[in-house]
Chain A
Amino acid sequence: MIIPQHLGPIDMVAVIPYIAIICVLAFVLLLVPGLVWIERVVMALMQDRLGPNRVGPRGLLQSIADGVKLFFKEDILPANVDKMVYYLAPILVIVPALAAGAAIPFSIVKIRLDSGAVEPIPMVVGNVNVGILFILALTSLQVYGIVLAGWASNNKYSLIGGLRSSAQVISYELAMSLAILCGVFICHSLNLVDIVNHQGGYWFGFIPKWNVFQFYGLGAVATIIYLIAMTAETNRAPFDLPEAESELVAGFHTEYSSMKFAIFFMGEYASMLVVSGIATALWFGGWQPLFPFLAFIPGWIWFIGKLMTFIMIYIWVRTTLPRLRYDALMSLGWKKLLPIALVVLFLVALVDTLQTPSQPVGSHIAQGHLAASMVIGESQR
């Protein structure tokens, strides 16, 4: 479908970022109740239980009922808490997650410009030159919310949950950054729109040129590292140590009730959606169709379909794997994922250098150097 640039008095090219803002916010905020329902139903199926079936047809309204219940619950403020930090923590969990969605391109629209040329315009809130770094920056801020919630609650279990979480997130951030760097090397760009555009096309007419299939299997290894690290980053099972109920009551949000608890809940699901969106855009071709003959399906359906696949993987992993012990979690992050990611990064850089025709000052090589030294700088905290 080709849209003309001027629909009446509206300039479509200028309006697209605003449409994208509404789409991202509506998608994330409205889908959260749906995700909770999907998770409960799928978990029930996998564990041979009934799942929600009381409120509405097939329990569809269960999440909405829960939301209303949370909204009307008493908001309890524990004694001797640091009020400013206590109220700030839930905000700090959800805002970075929503803001990170701004750099993820989720579709492409063809617009016929006034000059007559047809231009493909990506649907993204901000087409940032350093898009992937922007997202890394915002996801790295998310740990504040959890740590501060744990500290401000004035509760031992919350504090331990917050400390566990921060240790876990900064440990897995390294492996995640290195895996993302592999993708940056493959595409020679930090801009997510460029990264997705780079993944268009097919080998032999049917194997999509997604990053996951690139570089003789190295892309797949980097993808697996990213997927493990993203599960740990979002504190989901089997890495949900910060809220391990058998050890810590409910972890960092033990003392939060009513809407503040709901905001933590939403923040977790929003960050799940965002990291799945990054996985989709970075490794699985974003809006690019799986096979050439399926190109008639609009890009945003492809994007949402891939994203929901990752959500299903999240749920699947949650129902399948038991929670890791804490030392096992740390040794997996530092002793296995990080060295493997470093080796993969080295091999990807090697293959990239061999594939690229030599040039005096290669921009992408310089880019890689710069990004690599940045990660080294980060790792020396």
Chain B
Amino acid sequence: MGRGLAILNWSLIGFWIMAIISVCSAVLMIANKNPVRSALFLVLGFMMQALLYLSMSAQFIAAVQIIVYAGAIMVLFLFVIMLLNIGSPEALKERGGLQAPAAVVLAIVFLLLLAGVGALGGSQINHLMNPSVIPNYGTVDAIGKTIFDPSKPWLFPFEATSILLLIGVVGAITLAKRRL
């Protein structure tokens, strides 16, 4: 098999399918006029991200991605969309302004950054994407051992994030229920 064909293996084909669906759903999410359909395309995007994680053998992150984003947050979004009855397209007419030009500029900056990362760090990224580097890569076992390893610096950020989430919960309850 020639060199050109060698990179065209099944995992790469899978990656491109998922990547194209993912980008398309992201674009459709913005372009769609109907908020419920937008939410559904966002869910599709989340699912594709989960599949991409899975293709890098990060099973735990993939499952959490679906549970937290697709299963929890987006259900709440849909709930709000339906309760406020903004399901009709007319409710979401946006005025012009700086939003569109700013978005174009930011998109160009982002694409340049991506290209820069691809040009500079291609070899390192290939190295990172090889799941056989660490045994049990991406399993709950490996993630837990890495996070809670005292010799690694991840424990403090992890616990700090937990406290941040706790503050969020307490804040939500305080805001929602003024008289407890």
Binding site for B on A (CB under 8 A): 82, 84-85, 88, 128-130, 133-134, 136-138, 140-141, 143-144, 147-148, 150-151, 159, 162-163, 166-167, 170, 173, 190, 360-361, 363, 365-367, 369-371, 373-374, 376-381
Q: Across the two chains, which residue of chain B brings its CB closest to A147? A: B78
Using Cβ atoms and an 8 Å threshold, which residues of chain B touch A367? Answer: 140-141, 144
Residues in B122-160 with C-beta less than 8 Å from chain A: 139-141, 143-145, 147-150, 158
Complex Cα spacing A163 to B68, Å = 19
Interchain residue pairs with CB less than 8 A apart (20): A130-B140, A136-B63, A137-B50, A140-B71, A141-B66, A147-B78, A148-B36, A148-B40, A151-B87, A162-B82, A163-B82, A170-B72, A361-B145, A361-B149, A366-B145, A366-B147, A369-B148, A370-B144, A370-B147, A378-B68
Using Cβ atoms and an 8 Å threshold, which residues of chain B touch A129? Answer: 59-60, 139-141
Interface size on B, residues (CB 8 A): 41
Using Cβ atoms and an 8 Å threshold, which residues of chain B touch A166? Answer: 75, 78-79
Within the complex, the shortest CB–CB distance from A87 to chain B, in Å, comes to 12
Using Cβ atoms and an 8 Å threshold, which residues of chain B touch A373? Answer: 158, 162, 165
Total A-B contacts with CB atoms under 8 angstroms apart? 124
Complex Cα spacing A380 to B67, Å = 13
Within the complex, the shortest CB–CB distance from A12 to chain B, in Å, comes to 24
Residue pair B140, A380 in contact (C-beta under 8 Å): no
Within the complex, the shortest CB–CB distance from B178 to chain A, in Å, comes to 18
Query: Known contacts A173-B71, A370-B60; can you find 5 more A-B pairs with CB under 8 A?
Result: A82-B37, A84-B37, A141-B71, A151-B36, A170-B75
Q: Across the two chains, which residue of chain A brings its CB closest to B64? A: A374
Residue pair A137, B37 in contact (C-beta under 8 Å): no
Within the complex, the shortest CB–CB distance from A199 to chain B, in Å, comes to 20
Complex Cα spacing A369 to B159, Å = 10
Complex Cα spacing A373 to B144, Å = 12
Known: A129-B59, A137-B67, A361-B150. A147 touches B82 (CB 8 A): yes
Within the complex, the shortest CB–CB distance from A229 to chain B, in Å, comes to 15
The verdict on B20 contacting chain A, using a C-beta distance below 8 Å, is no
B 16-53 binary contact with A (CB < 8 Å = 1; else 0): 00000000000000000010110010010000001000
Complex Cα spacing A134 to B34, Å = 30
Using Cβ atoms and an 8 Å threshold, which residues of chain B touch A148? Answer: 36, 40, 78
Complex Cα spacing A88 to B76, Å = 19
Using Cβ atoms and an 8 Å threshold, which residues of chain B touch A133? Answer: 60, 63-64, 67
Q: Nearest 10 pairs between A and B by C-beta? A: A140-B71, A366-B144, A133-B63, A137-B66, A366-B148, A380-B169, A137-B67, A129-B139, A367-B144, A381-B72
